[in-house]
């Protein structure tokens, strides 16, 4: 590896050259990160401490919340800290680690969202067999498959990045390490490598996105046979999932499913799947879900009541 590179760190150009904009972004993203952690921890604890944990949909939602925390924590704390310094650097080893962890947890999130879509399909389209189809063993296997899928997704991208030679320029026009920005500073022809990244990473996002929307299309078609109340309840959960899918997959497909190049707009689009979507997930799943709101009130109100009683 030492023969392939003569640099020990990369310089991140960040979101903006304007110090006032960076201070504004620091306050904004610090608030977003705190809200993200608080919201996802609220969902995680509320589900784990209530009977909802035994329902497949909320079992997957608890795993989605924990994945969101891990996923955004690979990028956001570094981004927030860099907004306060003039020279933003990241070591070579940390850069490679960031690429692996980001794509690993991002891959897990993709497959957990797919498992949640399968759960809604089974609940609405196969209601009489739902308990058999989505038994606890199958739920465990789907989560395990999501972790395996995340590793399978991340390892080739990590291997691609760590195999690139770097011999001169070390400025990355982004706020975190990713494969496409690294290709621009590599000392070799990266066209074939870029095509492979698109074929692998971009196609996974596109195929998963299509599968999810086909499944929701089948669900909407099936809803015609339900009562008005049944349709309302099913739609409330389905629209939550669809909103999350669009926020996460839309920007990811824009960045990874195109010729291997980078644009200034990439940094703005990347904010959607690294910070904004994980932050909005708790709001989307709680505000539109009556069972989740009841669980939150029950767990936290009873906790506060018990504290007041003991005091």
pLDDT band at 3 (very low <50, low <70, confident <90, very high): very low
Q: Encode pLDDT of 24-37 as tens digits.
A: 999 999 999 999 99
pLDDT band at residue 46 under the 50/70/90 scheme: confident
- Residue 99 and residue 154: Cα distance in Å, rounded? 8
pLDDT in tens, 277-293: 888 887 777 766 677 77
| Side-chain half-sphere CA neighbours of 85 within 13 A | 13
Position 118 pLDDT exceeds 50: yes
d(CA 263, CA 63): 33
Residue-level pLDDT at 209? 87
Residue 252 pLDDT exceeds 90: no
Percent of the chain clearing pLDDT 70 (strictly above): 89
Task: Using the predicted structure, report yes or no on whether residue 108 has a pLDDT greater than 80.
Answer: yes
pLDDT at 111: 92
Largest CA distance in the chain: 69
Query: What's the half-sphere exposure (Cβ side, CA atoms, 13 Å) at 308?
Result: 6
Dihedral (Cα; 69, 72, 74, 75), 10-degree rounding: -160
**pLDDT tens for residues 191-231?**
888 887 887 777 888 888 888 888 888 888 887 776 776 67
Q: Which of helix, strand or coil describes residue 264?
A: coil
pLDDT higher at 122 or 169: 122
The answer to whether 246 and 5 have CB atoms below 8 angstroms apart is no
Q: Which of 131-135, 237-241, 279-283 has the highest mean pLDDT?
A: 131-135
Please determine, for residue 305, whether its predicted confidence score (pLDDT) is greater than 70.
no
SS3 string of 216-272? Answer: HHHHHHHHHHCCHHHHHHHHHHHHHHHHHHHHHHHHHHHHHCCCCCCCCCHHHHHHH
Report the 10 Å Cβ neighbour count for 197.
21
Would the pLDDT of 150 be above 90?
yes
Least confident range from 86-90, 159-163, 248-252: namely 248-252
Closest CA to 68 of 236, 274, 257: 274
Q: Give the confidence band of 144 by pLDDT, cuts at 50, 70, 90.
A: very high
Find where tokens 């497949």 sit: 56
Other CB atoms within 10 Å distance of the CB of residue 305 = 10
| Cα(218)–Cα(124) distance, integer angstroms | 10
Instruction: Evaluate if residue 250 carries a pLDDT over 50.
Output: yes
Residues 6+ apart with CB under 8 A from 16: 22, 25
């Amino acid at each position: 590896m030492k023969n392939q590179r003569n640099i020990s760190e990369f310089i991140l150009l960040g979101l903006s050259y304007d110090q006032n904009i960076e201070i504004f972004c620091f306050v904004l993203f610090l608030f977003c990160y705190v809200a993200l952690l608080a919201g996802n921890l609220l969902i995680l604890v509320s589900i784990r401490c209530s009977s909802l944990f035994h329902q497949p949909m909320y079992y997957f939602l608890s795993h989605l919340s924990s994945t969101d925390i891990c996923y955004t924590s690979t990028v956001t704390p570094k981004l927030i800290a860099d907004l306060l310094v003039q020279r933003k650097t990241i070591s070579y080893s940390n850069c490679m680690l960031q690429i692996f962890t980001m794509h690993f947890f991002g891959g897990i999130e993709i497959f957990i969202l797919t498992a949640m879509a399968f759960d809604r399909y089974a609940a609405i389209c196969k209601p009489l067999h739902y308990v058999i189809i989505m038994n606890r063993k199958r739920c465990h296997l789907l989560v395990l498959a999501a972790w395996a899928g995340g590793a399978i997704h991340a390892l080739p991208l990590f291997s691609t990045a760590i195999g690139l030679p770097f011999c001169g320029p070390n400025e990355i026009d982004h706020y975190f390490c990713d494969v496409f920005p690294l290709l621009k500073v590599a000392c070799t022809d990266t066209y074939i490598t870029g095509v492979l990244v698109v074929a692998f990473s971009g196609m996974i996002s596109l195929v998963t996105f299509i599968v999810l929307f086909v499944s929701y299309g089948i669900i909407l078609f099936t809803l015609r046979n339900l009562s008005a109340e049944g349709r309302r309840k099913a739609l409330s959960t389905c629209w939550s999932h669809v909103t999350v899918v669009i926020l996460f997959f839309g920007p990811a497909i824009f960045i990874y499913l195109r010729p291997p190049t980078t644009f200034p707009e990439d940094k703005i689009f990347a904010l959607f799947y690294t910070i904004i979507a994980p932050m909005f997930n708790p709001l989307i799943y709680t505000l539109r879900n009556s069972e989740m709101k009841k669980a939150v009130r029950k767990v936290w109100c009873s906790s506060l009541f018990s504290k007041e009683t003991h005091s």
